[in-house]
Structure 1
Amino acid sequence: MTAPAGVVSGRLGQTDGRRPFAASMMSPLLLGVALNPVNTTMIATTLVAIGGAFGVGAAQTAWLVAVLYLASAVGQPTMGRLADLVGPRKVFLTGLCVVVVAGAVGAFAPAFGWLIASRVLLGVGTSAAYPAAMAMLRAETRRTGVEAPRPVLGRLSLASLASAAVGPVLGGALAATLGWRAVFAVNIPVALVALLLALRWVPADEPRPARGASARGASAPTDGLRSQIDPPGLVLFAATIATTMLFLMRLTHPQLLLLALALLLGAALVRWELRAAHPFLDLRLLGRNPGLTRSFVRSGLTYLVLYCMLYGFSQWLEQAHGFNAFHAGLIALPMSGTAAVFALLGARTRTLRAPLVALTGLLLAGSVLLLVIGDGSPVALLVLASALFGVGQGLASSCNQAAVYAQAPADVIGSAAGLQRTSIYLGAILSSSVIAMLYGSRATQAGLHGVALVMCALSAVLILFTALDRALRPRP
């Protein structure tokens, strides 16, 4: 397939007149990136209707949420690895095709099991967009000689934040007007639009350099694609992540057998990857690039705090403070609004260390505020808490993304972006277990304060972890 008009046709920095990182190129990328977070939250308002349609209870419908997390946690780095190997545009387009199939499977599902299959396919298909988009931005830099502006990265963050925020509202509106099947079917037109725009405006992939080629550009013999993908490493990684997430989901009743299995699989993964010629998870690279590794850890811990707030605060507002779902949503709305604004503002900062330290300070301030909030607290104080965490979420999204983009080697940016998303999913899963352990069967003021204490401790650790990170200091 030839590149569309305006793409680079020759040496680095030469273009046919297309402006680097133009809106025409970014539009399909933003649409694709939005699909994963919107599907994560959109189904929340349709679970009861789905359960009634197929005669299943809350325990079964909860798997519609969990399997998307599991598929995405494994799918993001896998798709990122494929983007690095075969080209991000190919992976991006393939992922959109999988989304179309997933939407059709869910829309016409004759039984509940088909919905599970649809959500797995949605997790895999939507996982292609973000790591492939990050790799395409890096490729655009190589083609044009123009470094990706931070606001461009900020728009990717905004697409994720905004789509996740509108997901429950969109899901409720679709279910109320067209039925719950529309929540699956809506993926079809959106993915098709993104697909057509990408075919027209996203530049063709660059020729993939032979692995092991000399610095002068001579091709070296390479293994087949299968060996470069490292199927055993991929399977071990998927099994390790899946068992770890299943263990974290059930911390209220720890399954020690799952923990033992996760540790055994993790040990096998490390042993295999250190010996593999082309490892799926390049542990040596992570060892040589501790700043990148710290960015993964920082992302996971940051979102652990943020998801404790997102899930725990809303639940407390309804069950302990007495607000209905609509009013609880209005109080939580400033978190989404300020997150969107500060995702863009964070993308305009010239450094990374200062905004990252600032966001961890905001998380600590918000966590301390939760310690003094009670059943009789005025609405203004509740809104302030929501807004504080929104600022932190916006800065976390754009600045941690920019840190990974800056620290990852160019030829593995897709894999690195996928691993960052996996760390975020692990934080989300762990937050649900923290809330379950401290709330029990019902959210209470004591439970909220317990969650806030955990958040305070994590935020304090994050401040030190970030402030002492030498990799975040400006380069001379």
Structure 2
Amino acid sequence: MTARPPRRRARRAAESAESGEPVGFDRRLVPPMVLGSILNPINSSMLAVALIPIGRAFGQPPSQTAWLVSGLYLATAVGQPVIGRLVDAYGPRLLYLWGTALVGLAGLVGVLAPNLWVLVVSRVLLGIGTSAAYPASMSVLRTESERTGAKSPTGVLTILSASNQVIAVVGPTLGGLLIGAGGWHLIFAVNVPLAAACLLLGLRLPRGGTMPSGARTDVPGMVMFAVSLTAFVLFLMDPAVVRWYLPAIGAVLGVLFVRRELAAAEPFIDLRVLGGNVPLLATYARQLLAYTTAYAFLYGYSQWLQEGRGIDASQAGLLQLPTAVAALGATALTGRHARVRGKLAAGSLIQVGVCAALLLLTPDTPVWVLVLLAAGFGLPQGLNGLANQNALYAQAEPARMGASAGLLRTFMYLGALLSSAATAAFFEAGATTAGLHDLAWLMTGVAALNLLFSLTDRSLARIGRES
């Protein structure tokens, strides 16, 4: 990405000063960006310690409660780029407010759910509603960068990344405390006050989009993308020969989607630009691999702690608190440094080691070992998430920042879906130690592949250099 010339940056700063606008980044925008963007990770991670209690409440095995995970991630994987493109078209405020209002409604549906499948509907609504805030925040970052002439708002990017990373890993602890205080219903009820706060703070966000006046939104392209991805994921969650029609539908619509996007004047996803942006594609691939492993640990390890190790939900949540502390420490120590290659190499290498360490766990493993293991998983979460977000900011086309940021989250949650499918398969007979070991072999292989991608991507060395 070409840096803004110094004279132009100075002129933009002078214009802001003359108009009475803040010369630096408008810090009033940070609270709604942070609070809105954590809605998805907090709902993702709190559920990790609630799956066993919910399954017991409704008499459902882990293979069925896995749909609570998959429902949110399927909706998010589809919703993030779609809503991100709408953010580009109509501005961050409108989509942010609609999305957070839907989060509050989904929380009420979850509290009142009479059975597992209504609860799944609540999770789908949560997935759609929480898809707006992150692309809206990245769009605001780009707009503020253009207004102030700042090359890269590393401080705000670090705050955004740190809040997401820490909430994602502190979620199991919070979920365990809420379950201990009033049952699993509270992890849905907490969305109501969070959504209300977002609605108030979201009024500070700017209105305008970045698409040219008169440009059309590619609704057919969005629909093809959504249905194709949904068909593939539904098959992945329950693969069987009799369901052959799902990948067939996905493949046909995928081909039609590619043909349309290549021919459209204003495509939903500009495949011509994206296809030529190999560094950005590599960032998406690393995001997929990193979070396949991270979410397999989040959900698989949490369930094993309760069934394989015999720890209750509240204690299982507390045992994952070191993950949050380690992730926060890694982000805080490295966040001010714009370079990403070292972070990705270190994060993926640590991830390989801790995944392999899962193979050594037994039902009698001492608690202090479990604490160290949880801390070990926090380090790569802090490093990988921050580095991939910074890489995207440097690599994405500015006018499509919302859609590009949404796609980053799509690959993140595709990783979550893959991990959910793997966890459901390996824990078909319950969250046993043998099942955890089988899952650990898969996690180690995926982490090793992520390490290979990080070490061989030479384009990463250019990110963060002083111009």
Post-superposition shift, 1:67?
A: 2.2
Match of 1:67 in 2: 71
Q: In structure 2, do the counterparts of structure 1 residues 380 and 93 end up closer, same or farther at CA, with 3 Å as the change threshold?
A: same
Match of 1:331 in 2: 319
Match of 1:12 in 2: 12
Mean CA deviation greater in 372-381 or 346-355? 372-381
Match of 1:383 in 2: 371
Aligned-partner Cα distance in 1 for 2:376–2:50: 29
Mean CA deviation greater in 354-363 or 22-31? 22-31
- Counterpart contact for 1:252–1:433, Cα < 8 Å: no
2:336 to 348, 369, 375: 348
Match of 2:138 in 1: 134
Amino acid at match of 2:12: L
Match of 2:200 in 1: 196
- Counterpart contact for 2:48–2:302, Cα < 8 Å: no
Match of 1:234 in 2: 222
Amino acid at match of 1:119: R
Post-superposition shift, 1:274?
A: 1.6
- Counterpart contact for 2:23–2:148, Cα < 8 Å: no
Match of 1:214 in 2: none
Output aligned runs, 1:439-450, within 5 Å.
Answer: 439-450=427-438
Matching of residue 99 in structure 1 with residue 103 in structure 2: yes
Q: In structure 2, do the counterparts of structure 1 residues 441 and 418 end up closer, same or farther at CA, with 3 Å as the change threshold?
A: same
Output aligned runs, 1:138-149, within 5 Å.
Answer: 138-149=142-153
Q: In structure 2, do the counterparts of structure 1 residues 375 and 65 end up closer, same or farther at CA, with 3 Å as the change threshold?
A: closer
Aligned-partner Cα distance in 2 for 1:393–1:165: 9
The number of aligned residues is 450
Matching of residue 259 in structure 1 with residue 263 in structure 2: no
Post-superposition shift, 1:43?
A: 4.7
Output aligned runs, 1:142-181, within 5 Å.
Answer: 142-171=146-175
2:273 to 285, 293, 302: 285
- Counterpart contact for 1:233–1:279, Cα < 8 Å: yes
Q: In structure 2, do the counterparts of structure 1 residues 63 and 437 end up closer, same or farther at CA, with 3 Å as the change threshold?
A: closer
Amino acid at match of 2:74: L
Match of 1:216 in 2: none
Post-superposition shift, 1:197?
A: 2.3
Match of 1:7 in 2: none
Aligned-partner Cα distance in 2 for 1:467–1:329: 34
User: Cα deviations across residues 289-323 of structure 1 (Å, max 9, x unaligned)?
Assistant: 11111111110011111122222223333433444
Give the 3-state SS of the residue equivalent to 1:277 in structure 2.
coil
Aligned-partner Cα distance in 2 for 1:447–1:113: 26
Aligned-partner Cα distance in 2 for 1:291–1:424: 17
Q: In structure 2, do the counterparts of structure 1 residues 187 and 368 end up closer, same or farther at CA, with 3 Å as the change threshold?
A: closer
Aligned-partner Cα distance in 2 for 1:119–1:31: 19
Amino acid at match of 1:462: N
Output aligned runs, 1:304-453, within 5 Å.
Answer: 304-453=292-441
- Counterpart contact for 1:251–1:433, Cα < 8 Å: no
Unaligned runs of 5+ in 1: 1-10, 212-221
Equivalent pairs: percent with the same residue? 43
Amino acid at match of 2:283: S
Aligned-partner Cα distance in 2 for 1:196–1:329: 31
Match of 2:127 in 1: 123
Post-superposition shift, 1:126?
A: 1.4
Post-superposition shift, 1:29?
A: 1.1
Amino acid at match of 2:414: L
User: Cα deviations across residues 99-122 of structure 1 (Å, max 9, x unaligned)?
Assistant: 344445555668877655543332
Aligned-partner Cα distance in 1 for 2:300–2:56: 26
Give the 3-state SS of the residue equivalent to 2:439 in structure 1.
helix
Aligned-partner Cα distance in 1 for 2:425–2:54: 28
Aligned-partner Cα distance in 1 for 2:347–2:179: 36
Match of 2:212 in 1: 210
Aligned-partner Cα distance in 1 for 2:135–2:173: 27
Aligned-partner Cα distance in 1 for 2:107–2:305: 34
Post-superposition shift, 1:342?
A: 1.5
- Counterpart contact for 1:151–1:344, Cα < 8 Å: no
Post-superposition shift, 1:153?
A: 1.1
Aligned-partner Cα distance in 1 for 2:379–2:175: 25
Q: In structure 2, do the counterparts of structure 1 residues 194 and 435 end up closer, same or farther at CA, with 3 Å as the change threshold?
A: closer
Amino acid at match of 1:238: A
User: Cα deviations across residues 48-72 of structure 1 (Å, max 9, x unaligned)?
Assistant: 887898x774677654443222211
Q: In structure 2, do the counterparts of structure 1 residues 254 and 417 end up closer, same or farther at CA, with 3 Å as the change threshold?
A: farther
Mean CA deviation greater in 279-288 or 42-51? 42-51
Q: In structure 2, do the counterparts of structure 1 residues 389 and 184 end up closer, same or farther at CA, with 3 Å as the change threshold?
A: closer
User: Cα deviations across residues 378-407 of structure 1 (Å, max 9, x unaligned)?
Assistant: 433333222221100111111111111111
Aligned-partner Cα distance in 1 for 2:297–2:409: 19
Aligned-partner Cα distance in 2 for 1:439–1:67: 18
- Counterpart contact for 1:352–1:403, Cα < 8 Å: yes
Aligned-partner Cα distance in 2 for 1:76–1:387: 30
Match of 2:93 in 1: 89
Aligned-partner Cα distance in 1 for 2:179–2:319: 23
Mean CA deviation greater in 66-75 or 291-300? 66-75
Aligned-partner Cα distance in 1 for 2:420–2:110: 26
Amino acid at match of 2:126: L
Q: In structure 2, do the counterparts of structure 1 residues 40 and 254 end up closer, same or farther at CA, with 3 Å as the change threshold?
A: farther
Give the 3-state SS of the residue equivalent to 2:235 in structure 1.
helix
Match of 2:7 in 1: none
Mean CA deviation greater in 295-304 or 65-74? 65-74
The two structures have a TM-score, normalised by structure 1, of: 0.84
- Counterpart contact for 1:137–1:148, Cα < 8 Å: no
Task: Give the CA RMSD over aligned residues.
Answer: 3.1
Post-superposition shift, 1:44?
A: 5.5
Match of 1:249 in 2: 237
Unaligned runs of 5+ in 2: 1-10
- Counterpart contact for 1:69–1:123, Cα < 8 Å: yes
Aligned-partner Cα distance in 1 for 2:91–2:103: 19
Aligned-partner Cα distance in 1 for 2:371–2:192: 36
The two structures have a TM-score, normalised by structure 2, of: 0.85
